[in-house]
């Protein structure tokens, strides 16, 4: 059996989820140690370069025009302000700068500014990542040529649960964008959200969809829903037992992602601010080896540098060197 498999069956993924918790963690940690430095964690910093007023109806998102979150819709930031934020992220020890825009897709008229941002951030010695919605092949090529290392585009959940969360773009649309990103030679960052009221079977389907892509994403963000008041999901789940994902189930999801996609970086993403140190430590044990740093994600809060430094100190974790080559999976 080769180590990296893209032929996982749903039953195999479901069986991993069903393992006794300690067996699951033991297996995930063993795989983690074969493929990754056990105590190194990659650090990424997010910046919302275009906030709010998004035409998509993603039920979790504070930036959707369908949400009543009172968030002001901004225009695309200017290049210099983005570069100033990137310089600050670098000074704070981050290795990757991820720029997010609340768009269905970038307009061609935005491409010059976006490429300037990528080239400028890259010139600082940071890895570059963008998440701008759907991309055409031409747009992906332009961003890749400008020096974009990673493109983030999430599948978000299982194909079955997807329609309960988003109706304005399809799963197939997302797969098309991922194909364009791959074809342009960039590394793929693709994951999703747990805690949206989905079932265990949906979490199985979500990881199955990721682990059976033609090539595993180099980066797999696992977000725990940050329930935002005024969003469909934030309001629907408020006050219900589903309002927050069970933390053991969250750790299981991280562990199964690690086992199914051994080489990928698994990022403990949104939702960390409200997670105990012990749960985060279990996530690292389960194979998470990347986080977002800083006190803000795109629009919501994040753990912050002080809390992270304290946690890393307690656990003996160290930031991953930022100068390792971007690991685009070779066939
Ligand atoms: N507009 C672009 C897109 O959706 O492709 C990029 C930005 S979007 C905010 C990136 C990802 O953030 C989403 O796919 C979703 O997985 C995650 N996300 C957004 N809001 C979230 C929330 N409230 N809690 C957890 N994750 C969230
Ligand atoms: C991802 O999967 N998580 C990040 C990143 N990709 C762009 C975004 C999390 C956003 C959390 C909600 C917010 O701050 O608005
Ligand atoms: Fe728009 Fe992205 Fe938010 Fe969906 S997740 S509403 S596409 S910003």
Cα 191 to middle of ligand 1, angstroms: 10
CA atoms of 220 and 265, how far apart (whole Å): 6
What is residue 331's predicted lDDT score, i.e. its pLDDT?
Answer: 45
Cα 310 to the chain's mean position, in Å? 23
For the cut 60, the answer to whether the pLDDT of residue 2 exceeds it is no
* Residues near ligand 3 (Cβ within 6 A): 54, 56, 58, 61, 63-64, 102, 133
CA distances to 34, 159, 224 from 315, in Å: 20, 37, 22
For the cut 70, the answer to whether the pLDDT of residue 237 exceeds it is yes
pTM of the model: 0.95
Is residue 48 lining ligand 2, measured as CB closer than 6 Å?
no
Q: Whose CA is nearest to atom 6 of ligand 1?
A: 131
Q: At what angle do helices 111-123 and 137-146 cross, to 10 degrees?
A: 30
CA atoms of 91 and 242, how far apart (whole Å): 39
Cβ pair 158, 203 in contact under 8 A: yes
CA atoms of 297 and 274, how far apart (whole Å): 13
Whose CA is closest to 97, among 41, 147, 154, 44? 44
What is residue 242's predicted lDDT score, i.e. its pLDDT?
Answer: 67
| Helices and strands counted in the chain (H then E) | 12, 10
Q: Whose CA is nearest to atom 4 of ligand 1?
A: 133
Cβ-Cβ contacts under 8 Å for 50 (sequence gap 6 or more): 74, 75, 76, 77, 100, 101, 102, 103
For the cut 50, the answer to whether the pLDDT of residue 16 exceeds it is yes
Q: CA Rg, the chain, in Å?
A: 18
What is residue 303's predicted lDDT score, i.e. its pLDDT?
Answer: 86
Is residue 300 lining ligand 2, measured as CB closer than 6 Å?
yes
Whose CA is closest to 46, among 94, 80, 93? 94
Q: Whose CA is nearest to atom 5 of ligand 1?
A: 133
Measured from the Cα of 192, ligand 2's closest atom is: 2
289-331: per-residue pLDDT in tens? Answer: 999 998 899 999 998 888 888 999 999 999 997 766 566 654 4
Residues acting as catalytic residues: 54, 58, 61, 98, 129, 189, 267
Is residue 191 lining ligand 2, measured as CB closer than 6 Å?
yes
CA atoms of 142 and 56, how far apart (whole Å): 24
pLDDT, the chain, mean: 93
| CA of 132, nearest ligand number | 1
Q: What length does the chain have? A: 331
Is residue 299 lining ligand 2, measured as CB closer than 6 Å?
yes
What 8-state DSSP symbol labels residue 219?
E
Cβ pair 304, 312 in contact under 8 A: no
Q: What is the mean pLDDT of residues 216-245?
A: 88
Measured from the Cα of 63, ligand 3's closest atom is: 3
| CA of 154, nearest ligand number | 1
Whose CA is closest to 82, among 43, 110, 40, 41? 110
Is residue 153 lining ligand 1, measured as CB closer than 6 Å?
yes
Mutate to test the pocket of ligand 1, among 58, 130, 143, 268 (most ligand atoms within 8 A of CB): 58
104-130: per-residue pLDDT in tens? Answer: 999 999 999 999 999 999 999 999 999
Q: What is the mean pLDDT of residues 39-46?
A: 94
272-284: per-residue pLDDT in tens? Answer: 998 999 999 999 9
Whose CA is closest to 282, among 262, 269, 271, 268? 268
What 8-state DSSP symbol labels residue 326?
P
Cβ pair 191, 269 in contact under 8 A: yes
Confidence at 45, pLDDT banded by 50, 70, 90: very high
What is residue 238's predicted lDDT score, i.e. its pLDDT?
Answer: 80
Cα 63 to middle of ligand 3, angstroms: 6
195-225: per-residue pLDDT in tens? Answer: 999 999 999 999 999 999 999 999 999 999 9
Q: Whose CA is nearest to atom 6 of ligand 3?
A: 64
């Amino acid at each position: 059996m080769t180590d990296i498999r893209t032929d996982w069956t749903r039953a195999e993924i479901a069986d991993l989820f069903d393992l006794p918790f300690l067996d699951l963690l033991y297996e995930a940690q063993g795989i983690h140690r074969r493929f990754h430095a056990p105590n190194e964690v990659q650090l990424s910093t997010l910046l919302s370069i275009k906030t709010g007023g998004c035409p998509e109806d993603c039920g979790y998102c504070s930036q959707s025009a369908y949400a009543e979150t009172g968030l002001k819709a901004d225009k695309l930031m200017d290049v210099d302000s983005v570069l100033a934020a990137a310089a600050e992220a670098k000074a704070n020890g981050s290795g990757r700068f991820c720029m997010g825009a609340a768009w269905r897709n970038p307009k061609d008229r935005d491409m010059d500014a976006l490429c300037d941002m990528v080239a400028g951030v890259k010139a600082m010695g940071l890895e570059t990542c963008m998440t701008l919605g759907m991309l055409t092949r031409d747009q992906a090529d332009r961003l890749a040529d400008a020096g974009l290392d990673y493109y983030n585009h999430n599948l978000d959940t299982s194909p079955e649960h997807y329609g309960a969360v988003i109706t304005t773009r399809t799963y197939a649309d997302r797969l098309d964008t991922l194909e364009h990103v791959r074809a342009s030679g960039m590394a793929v960052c693709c994951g999703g959200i747990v805690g949206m009221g989905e079932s265990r079977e949906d979490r199985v389907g979500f990881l199955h969809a990721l682990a059976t892509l033609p090539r595993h994403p180099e980066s797999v963000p696992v977000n725990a829903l940050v329930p935002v008041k005024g969003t469909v999901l934030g309001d629907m789940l408020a006050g219900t037992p589903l309002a927050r994902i069970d933390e053991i189930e969250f750790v299981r999801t991280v562990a199964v992602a690690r086992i199914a996609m051994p080489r990928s970086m698994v990022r403990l993403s949104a939702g960390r601010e409200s997670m105990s140190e012990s749960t985060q430590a279990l996530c690292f044990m389960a194979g998470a080896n990347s986080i977002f740093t800083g006190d803000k994600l795109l629009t919501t809060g994040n753990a912050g540098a002080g809390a992270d430094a304290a946690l890393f100190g307690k656990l003996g974790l160290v930031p991953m060197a930022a100068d390792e080559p971007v690991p685009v999976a070779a066939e």
